[in-house]
A and B are shown apart, each in its own frame.
Chain A
Amino acid sequence: MLPARSAEPQAGPRPAPPGAGRGTGPSPAVHTIELRKQYRRTVALAGLSMTVRRGEVFGFLGPNGAGKTTAVKLLLGLARPTGGEALVLGAPAGDRETRRRIGYLPELFRYQSWLTAREVLELHGRLLGLPRARRRAAADDALATVGLAGRGDDKVGTFSKGMQQRLGLGAALLGEPALVVLDEPTSALDPVGRHQVRAIIRELRGRGTTVFLNTHLLQEAEQVCDRVSVISQGRSLATGTLAELRGQASSVRLLVTGLPDGWWRAPQVPGLWSAEGEWLLVRDLAAGQVPDVVAALVARGGRVEAVVPQQQSLEARFLELLGEQ
């Protein structure tokens, strides 16, 4: 059973400062302030501010070219920022010792094709400084977790793209990292593989590992993320839980029988009403008005068979945010 998580609202794109070094608890897993990256005239990241809490699965969403991978590279020290600040696990981004506690699956996942899968994992175990006795077991565990248990002694060069991505995920899980950064982790996987990756992410969350999931697949984010940040053109447009991002239900669909003709002309029925076959659709409701709608229908002799609150889909909200921008 995974621990329950409370979703705190995020008022705006500006994150709260981290608690590290102030005696207010552990530092956030990731904290950036106005992080900026510019390549000559091209602005890849235009002042990204965000906070990823410890133990959460954080979705980093955005269209292609939004600056997601650039942000990941800055967090891992693969590139240097041209402005702003980034702290990862309480240390400046790219800090060598901190990298021991970070697992990373790159978007461009390639490993030594001339090594076997087990050898790749043992190499990463050595680079992590895992003791010899633990390396072999850690590699076997990782292979089993990502579904490559039977292919450990095969050369990576013989692997399909999907298998290489699984291997990369296995490498990212070595050494029980506190933060796992996954850059488009299911881009090469079939539906079964995607399902397995989502299960792995949930298991990581169960262990208290923070997962930073960089993806453009909204469905993936909806299924596993505690909170998400939508970025576009190098800026965060919104951050929060999925419910916060989608907003409160502003409409409801109802299946009602036994209502007299012309009931809807009666006063004090909230919202705008329309019929959709057997269903009624009530729009433009204020927060907390759904019970009032049900009470009004019952008062008019209706039998309410079903009530389905209509929430904006993440995709619709995502497109809306991009449109607003």
Chain B
Amino acid sequence: MNAVGIIAALTIREALRRKLIAALAVICLAMIGLSAWGFYRLSHTSGLTSGEIGGAVPEAFILFMFMFSFVIALSASAVASLSVSTEIDSGVLQAVVTRPVRRSEVLLGKWLGLVAILAAYTALVCGLQVGVVFWVSGFVPPNPAAAAAFLFAEGVALLTLVLLLSTRLSALAAGVTGVALFGMAWLAGVVGSFGQLLKIPALHTVSVVSEYLLPTDGLWHGAIYYLEPTSYLAFQSGNQDRGDAFFAAGAPAGTYLIWAVIWFALVLALGMLSFGRREL
């Protein structure tokens, strides 16, 4: 096994040993249990028409997934911020990088390990959530796999950025900065929705620029699109003048997805370069 594989396996083993994965699994089960109750109540309320329920369930599902995207972002930010700077401060990494390995391999290994954990967590939560909601309400999003992939990509974006920050900043500073940037990017998306509502192009431009600088909100809108059934899409498209931050009229453009891939590569490469040049 090469150095990247060794460090990736070590990162996953650390998450298991430190009970990070167990904690995430418990949170996941608690969230899904709560949502199962909520969706059951929503879809079995006698006061609502079937049309109202048909519109409310997808909307609630998107809101739930937004909450989950926030959990993913916070989790990714927390684990990424701890994985480099804390190990530098404690001296653990000094013993590793004086072995015949490249520092870039160490960082890439950590990234891969964290990405694998995130992938497993996203797949578990999304799979269980879709199954439970179908079981209690009969609703299935049109493309849950694509939605999960976008949620995962959103988490990876923040994870990659915080990993870069943690090569230079303390764990606290990197984590807080990452979460703050994530919040700002989401807020920029909301501002863009208001821009559309109020017909202020400058506000819309802010959200577009923000989506390119930090693609978390752009990727989140990709997830939203694949969660919207055709009826919900048609209904919401007719109400676009209300500027909904939880609605996506279309799938992300191919050029945007290419940019997102380039963004990942650039930020990861910058992280490897930064860690390689860091004095330990």
Contact = CB atoms under 8 A, between A and B. Distances in A.
Interface string B1-45: 101001000100110011000000000000000000000000000
A247 interface: no
A73 B97 CA distance: 12
Nearest to A128: B99
A97 B100 CA distance: 6
Contacts of B94: 78, 106, 108
Nearest to B15: A114
A103 B243 CA distance: 62
Contacts of A100: 99-100
A71 to B, nearest CB: 14
Nearest to B102: A96
Nearest to A104: B98
A42 B144 CA distance: 58
Contacts of A115: 13, 17
A127 B92 contact: no
Interface string B238-280: 0000000000000000000000000000000000000000011
Contact of B91 (A76, A79, A106, A128): A106
Interface in A100-130: 100, 102, 104, 106, 108-112, 114-115, 123-124, 126-129
What's the interface size class on A, roughly?
Answer: 20 to 34
A111 B280 contact: no
B184 interface: no
A110 B100 contact: no
Given A78-B280, A80-B279, A110 B98 contact: no
Contacts of B96: 127
A114 B18 contact: yes
B99 A79 contact: no
B90 interface: yes
Contact of A106 (B6, B95, B102): B95
A127 B100 contact: yes
Interface residues on B, range: 20 to 34
A111 B91 CA distance: 8
Which of the listed residues B13, B100, B280 has the most CB atoms from chain A within 10 Å of its own CB? B100
A317 to B, nearest CB: 33
Given A79-B279, A104-B95, A106-B94, A128 B6 contact: no
B235 to A, nearest CB: 51
B101 interface: yes
Given A73-B280, A127-B3, A102 B98 contact: yes
A16 B99 CA distance: 29
Nearest to A168: B95
B127 to A, nearest CB: 29
A78 B98 contact: yes
A73 to B, nearest CB: 7
A127 B279 contact: no
Contact of B100 (A99, A106, A123, A171): A99
Interface in B20-77: none
B100 A111 contact: no
Nearest to B91: A108
A193 interface: no
Given A97-B100, A99-B100, A126 B95 contact: no
A124 B13 CA distance: 15
24 contacts: A76-B98, A78-B94, A78-B97, A78-B279, A79-B279, A80-B279, A96-B100, A99-B99, A100-B99, A106-B95, A106-B98, A108-B91, A108-B94, A110-B92, A111-B92, A114-B14, A114-B17, A115-B13, A115-B17, A124-B95, A126-B1, A126-B6, A127-B99, A129-B100
Given A78-B94, A106-B98, A127-B3, 18 more contacts: A76-B98, A77-B98, A78-B98, A79-B279, A79-B280, A96-B102, A104-B95, A106-B95, A108-B90, A108-B91, A108-B94, A109-B95, A111-B92, A115-B13, A124-B95, A124-B99, A127-B101, A128-B100
Interface of A: 73, 76-80, 96-97, 99-100, 102, 104, 106, 108-112, 114-115, 123-124, 126-129, 168, 171
